[in-house]
Chains A and B, each alone.
Chain A
Amino acid sequence: MKLFKYIFALIAFALYNEVYSQNNKLSESMHESGKIYVFLGVVLIILAGLFVYLFILEKKIKKLEKNK
C-alpha cells in the first residue's frame, strides 16, 4: 500500500504543478536548454517504472518462498 501512497503523491504534485504553472520554476526550467530536462524526465520515468515492477516481482517471489 506504501506504493500507492507514492503514486498518489506524484499525481498530486503533477496536478499542483498544472494549476500553478503560470509562473512556476519547474515548467520554465523544462523549456530551458533545449528541453533536456524533458528527456531526463522520460529516462527517469522508465527507470523508476522498471524498478517498481521489479520490486513487485520480488514481493511475489518472497511470498512463494515463504509458502514452501
Chain B
Amino acid sequence: MKQNWWKYVTIILLVYTFFFSFYIPLKPGIQNTSTEELFKGPNNAIVVYGYNTKFIQEQPPKVFIQFEDDTKICAFTTTVLDEKKIAFDIEIPDSTPYKLAHLVIQYADNYIFSPNAFRIKGTAKGKITSTCPEHNSSDSTQVVTFPNREILNETIRNLMFHVPMWFVMMFLMAISLVNSIRFLNSPKPIYDVIARNAVKVGVVFALLGIATGSLWARYTWGHWWVDDTKLNGAAITTLVYFAYLILRNSIQEEQLQQKIAAVYNIFAFVILIVMLMILPRMHDSLHPGNGGNPAFSSYDLDNTLRMVFYPAVLGWIGLSAWILNLRIRIDKLKNN
C-alpha cells in the first residue's frame, strides 16, 4: 500500500483528465459565414453561423468588422435568426484601402473574433474612420471554457491526449538513458533490464503519438502525413529506437549485447534531443503553438487548458511508469 501510492495518484489524475477534457465546453466561436467576400457599398443579409453560441433577439449582438489597424465598421442592422445564426447588413466605404477584414461579434458577455473572415473586393487608396463607438474588448465570460481556435476547434482537447504521449516517450527514454549509463559504470543486470524495458514501453507510446497525430492531421491539414519538422523528427526517433531493439536481438552473446546496447542507447538519446527538442525550435512547424517553445508558449495555453494539461501529463507519465514497473517485474521472474 505504501509503495503503491503513486499508482492511486495516477488513477485519480487520469480520471480527472478524462472527465474534464470531455466535460469543459468550448468558447463560443464563428463556424462560417454565408460569404467570404465583401463589396464596396452596402452588403445585405450576410449570415453568420455560430458555434456554441446563444444569440437572443432581446439583447441583439453587436456585429462589426475590424481592419488590421483597428479601424472598425459596424453593421447597420442585425437580425437574430436563431441561437446559432444571425444575419447582418453592412456598408463598406468606397475609399477602404484594406484587403482583409476580421469579423467580431459581441453578445451578452462574449466576444467572438474570427480573423480574416472577409476579403474586400476592389482596391482604393484612401482613408476611412471608424463608424463604431469604442467597444471594450475584454472577455468576461464566467463559465470555464476551452479556447475556440480556427481549424483546431474541438480538437484542442487533443492537448490532453496526443501531446502527453510524447512527454511520456521522452520520460521513458530518459529513464532508459540513466540506466544505460549506470550499467556502463557498474554492469549489474538490473540496470540493463530497466533500460531495455523502458525503450520497449516508450516505443509503444511513440507509436500511439504518431497514430493519433496522423488521424488529426488527416482532418485538419488534409493528409495523413505532411512534410513537417516535428513529424519527421518523431518518425526518425521512433525508428532509431526500433533499431535499438533490433540491434539487441541480433547479438547472441549476452554481455556483449548489454554493453553495445547501452552505448547505442546514449547515442539514440542524443538523436532524440536533436530531433524532438532542438530542430523543432529552429524551424517553423504546422503544429499549433509553434515558433518558440513547442506546446509551452504562454500565448497558446490559457489557464483552463493548463488546469487540465499538467495533471494529464503527470497522469500519463504515471501510467507509463506503472506499465514499465510490471514489465520489469516480469523480466525479473523470467531470469530467476
Enumerate chain A interface residues (CB-CB to B < 8 A).
Answer: 30-31, 33-36, 38-39, 41-43, 45-46, 49-50, 53-54, 57, 60-61, 64
Pick from A36, A46, A61, A64: contact of B212, CB under 8 Å: A46
* Distance in angstroms between the alpha carbons of A56 and B158 in the assembled complex: 26
Contact in complex: B333, A38 (CB < 8 Å): no
Contact in complex: B161, A60 (CB < 8 Å): no
Please give the distance in Å from B152's CB to the nearest CB on chain A.
Answer: 8
Q: Say yes or no: A60-B211 contact (C-beta < 8 A), given A35-B155, A39-B155.
A: no
Contact in complex: B219, A45 (CB < 8 Å): no
Pick from A35, A38, A53, A64: contact of B330, CB under 8 Å: A64
Contact in complex: B208, A46 (CB < 8 Å): yes
Contact in complex: A38, B219 (CB < 8 Å): yes
Can you list the 7 inter-chain pairs with the closest CB atoms, starting with the nearest?
Answer: A34-B153, A34-B154, A36-B154, A42-B212, A49-B208, A38-B219, A30-B219
Contact in complex: B211, A45 (CB < 8 Å): yes
Q: How many residues of B contact A (CB 8 A)?
A: 28
Q: Say yes or no: A39-B327 contact (C-beta < 8 A), given A46-B212, A49-B211.
A: no
B278: CB under 8 A from chain A? no
Q: CB-CB < 8 A to B158: which residues of A?
A: 38-39, 42
B286: CB under 8 A from chain A? no
* Distance in angstroms between the alpha carbons of A46 and B168 in the assembled complex: 13
* Distance in angstroms between the alpha carbons of A34 and B154 in the assembled complex: 5
Contact in complex: B330, A61 (CB < 8 Å): yes
B2: CB under 8 A from chain A? no
Q: CB-CB < 8 A to A30: which residues of B?
A: 219
Please give the distance in Å from B114's CB to the nearest CB on chain A.
Answer: 14
B51: CB under 8 A from chain A? yes
Return 11 A-B CB contacts under 8 Å, by A number.
A34-B26, A34-B51, A39-B155, A39-B157, A41-B215, A42-B162, A42-B212, A45-B212, A57-B323, A64-B330, A64-B334
